[in-house]
């Protein structure tokens, strides 16, 4: 596929262990949920968990159209709010509902990206909240209309060393690089700083993107990685691109054909892609150089935990948790995280946030007897 080689050039040229008491993650205990927001979410995907040094923060977009439509609350290790929720200072939205909310801290600044959708159009939006001056809404450009519950058609990661965030999203129909039997779709990049959205590279154009999780983004030391999920007949295929600046190097690799991607995350500084393969969860390291690509089954990772740390392990897939961390939903079986939910480690417990019947709820698993259980 010619678009693989072109994409590499365009974006690349632009820039102590716990005690060994084990439990199976496939049999997650059913912790009683706590309602954080009883009603008024803008959409089922209009919420996000982010990590701070002191713990996890829950963000959500309300259905209210005026200023202050984004709310936040800091969560304790038990999942309860540390204080009353508050609204963040953002101008009124441009369109209707907010979907696919993504967020990350870049130092002390909170970077946000989301889709705004009406019945006829959608736009990719962003903001960087510094706490020093009012945040501006950044209109990134046109986006594809998607289901309100769909996740992963816009993605954001922090590029901490450069003090900025990187956003990638699925756009509208775009000319194909080579003839195709169906129209192609464009994907665009922007780099965010307070009040600024800088163009990064030239948009991609790919055939038949997946309905959800069409975008993957990850940053590892000295590199960044992006991917697109496309469909070849009935099969999904995620093509991941790895860009290294010094010395210059780029690689494109189709991964996990026939599997629907769930997300990407770092394990000990190395990026992995996680996907659902017809009901079985698989993970594969995103290749950086010439290493052989081989997946790991992670259907039932073993859990080791103490009150301060946890570890998920199956084969080469080893996820160690100590400091607060968000974005863990892809690594956990569905028995832990409902579809569309978010998961994070508070520093002492595993916290899951999910929408159910219009309510935003949390569920917490703490370490007891060396495994995660209800408090």
Right CATH number for 2-15+41-299 from 1.25.40, 2.60.40, 2.120.10, 3.30.70?
2.120.10
Give 317-360 pLDDT, tens digit per residue. 999 999 999 999 999 988 889 999 999 999 999 999 999 888 89
Using the 8-state DSSP alphabet, how is residue 40 labeled? -
Number of residues assigned to the chain? 375
Complete DSSP assignment for 263-318: EEEEETTEEEEEEEETTEEEEEEPPSSSPPP--EE-SS-EEEEETTEEEEEETTEE
Output the pLDDT for position 78.
80
Output the pLDDT for position 19.
36
User: What is the C-alpha separation between 182 and 357, in angstroms, rounded?
Assistant: 37
Give 294-327 pLDDT, tens digit per residue. 999 998 888 899 988 999 999 999 999 999 999 9
Output the pLDDT for position 72.
94
Q: Indicate whether 7 pLDDT > 70.
A: no
What is the band of 120 on the pLDDT scale with cuts at 50, 70, 90? very high
Mean pLDDT of 240-253: 86
User: What is the C-alpha separation between 109 and 281, in angstroms, rounded?
Assistant: 34
User: What is the C-alpha separation between 364 and 48, in angstroms, rounded?
Assistant: 16
Output the pLDDT for position 182.
75
Q: Would you tell me how many other CB atoms lie within 10 Å of the CB of residue 247? A: 6
Output the pLDDT for position 5.
45
Q: 10 versus 365: which is more confidently predicted?
A: 365
Q: Indicate whether 64 pLDDT > 80.
A: yes
Domain coordinates in residue numbering, the chain: 2-15+41-299
CA 323-101-30 angle, to 5 degrees, is 60
Q: Indicate whether 239 pLDDT > 60.
A: yes
Q: 186 versus 66: which is more confidently predicted?
A: 186
Give 125-154 pLDDT, tens digit per residue. 999 999 888 889 999 999 999 999 999 999
Complete DSSP assignment for 312-347: EEETTEEEEE-S-B---GGGS-TTTS-TT-EEEE-S
Mean pLDDT of 86-100: 91
**Helices and strands: H and E segment counts in the chain:** 1, 30
Mean pLDDT of 358-374: 86
- Token code pair at residue 250: 């780029």
pTM of the complete model: 0.89
Give 270-281 pLDDT, tens digit per residue. 999 999 999 999
Longest CA span, the chain: 59
Output the pLDDT for position 23.
47
User: What is the C-alpha separation between 152 and 170, in angstroms, rounded?
Assistant: 9
Output the pLDDT for position 60.
96
* Pair 350, 324: CB distance under 8 Å: no
**Bridge-partner residues for 316, per DSSP?**
none
User: What is the C-alpha separation between 231 and 180, in angstroms, rounded?
Assistant: 13
- Checking phi first, is residue 208 left (phi over 0); if not, alpha (psi -120 to 50) or beta? left
Residue with tokens 């259907």: 299
Mean pLDDT of 283-295: 86
Output the pLDDT for position 228.
95
What is the band of 31 on the pLDDT scale with cuts at 50, 70, 90? low
Burial 282-316 (b: 16+ CB within 10 A, else e): bbbbbbbeeeeeebbebeebebbbbeebbbbbbee
Per-chain mean pLDDT for the chain: 87
Mean pLDDT of 168-191: 88
What is the band of 185 on the pLDDT scale with cuts at 50, 70, 90? very high
Output the pLDDT for position 10.
43
- Token code pair at residue 318: 């080893």
User: What is the C-alpha separation between 337 and 323, in angstroms, rounded?
Assistant: 20
């Amino acid at each position: 596929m010619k678009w693989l080689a072109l994409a590499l050039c365009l974006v690349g040229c632009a820039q102590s262990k716990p005690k060994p008491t084990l439990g199976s993650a496939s049999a997650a205990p059913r912790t009683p949920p706590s309602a954080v927001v009883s009603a008024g979410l803008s959409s089922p995907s209009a919420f996000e968990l982010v990590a701070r040094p002191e713990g996890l923060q829950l963000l959500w977009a309300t259905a209210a159209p005026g200023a202050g439509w984004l709310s936040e609350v800091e969560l304790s290790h038990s999942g309860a709010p540390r204080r009353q929720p508050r609204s963040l200072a953002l101008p009124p939205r441009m369109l209707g509902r907010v979907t696919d909310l993504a967020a990350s801290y870049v130092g002390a600044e909170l970077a946000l990206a989301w889709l705004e959708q009406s019945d006829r159009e959608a736009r990719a939006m962003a903001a960087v909240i510094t706490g020093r001056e009012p945040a501006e809404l950044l209109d990134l450009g046109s986006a594809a209309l998607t289901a309100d519950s769909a996740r992963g058609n816009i993605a954001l990661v922090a590029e901490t060393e450069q003090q900025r965030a990187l956003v990638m999203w699925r756009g509208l129909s775009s000319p194909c690089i080579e003839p195709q039997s169906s129209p192609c779709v464009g994907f665009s990049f922007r780099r965010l700083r307070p009040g600024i959205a800088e163009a990064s590279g030239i948009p991609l154009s790919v055939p038949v993107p997946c309905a959800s999780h069409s975008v993957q983004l990850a940053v590892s030391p000295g590199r960044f990685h992006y991917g697109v999920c496309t469909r070849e007949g009935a099969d999904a295929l995620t093509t991941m691109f790895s860009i290294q600046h010094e010395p210059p190097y780029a690689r494109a690799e189709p991964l996990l054909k026939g599997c629907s991607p769930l997300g990407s995350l770092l394990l000990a500084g190395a990026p992995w892609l996680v996907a659902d393969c017809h009901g079985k969860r698989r993970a594969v390291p995103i290749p950086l150089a010439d290493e052989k690509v081989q997946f790991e089954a992670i259907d039932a990772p073993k859990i080791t935990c103490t009150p301060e740390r946890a570890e998920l392990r199956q084969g080469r897939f080893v996820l160690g948790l100590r400091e607060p961390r968000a974005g863990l939903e892809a690594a956990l079986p569905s028995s832990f995280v409902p579809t569309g939910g978010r998961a994070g480690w508070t520093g002492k417990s595993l916290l899951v946030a999910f929408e159910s019947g219009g309510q935003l709820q949390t569920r917490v698993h703490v370490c007891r007897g060396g495994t995660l259980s209800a408090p």
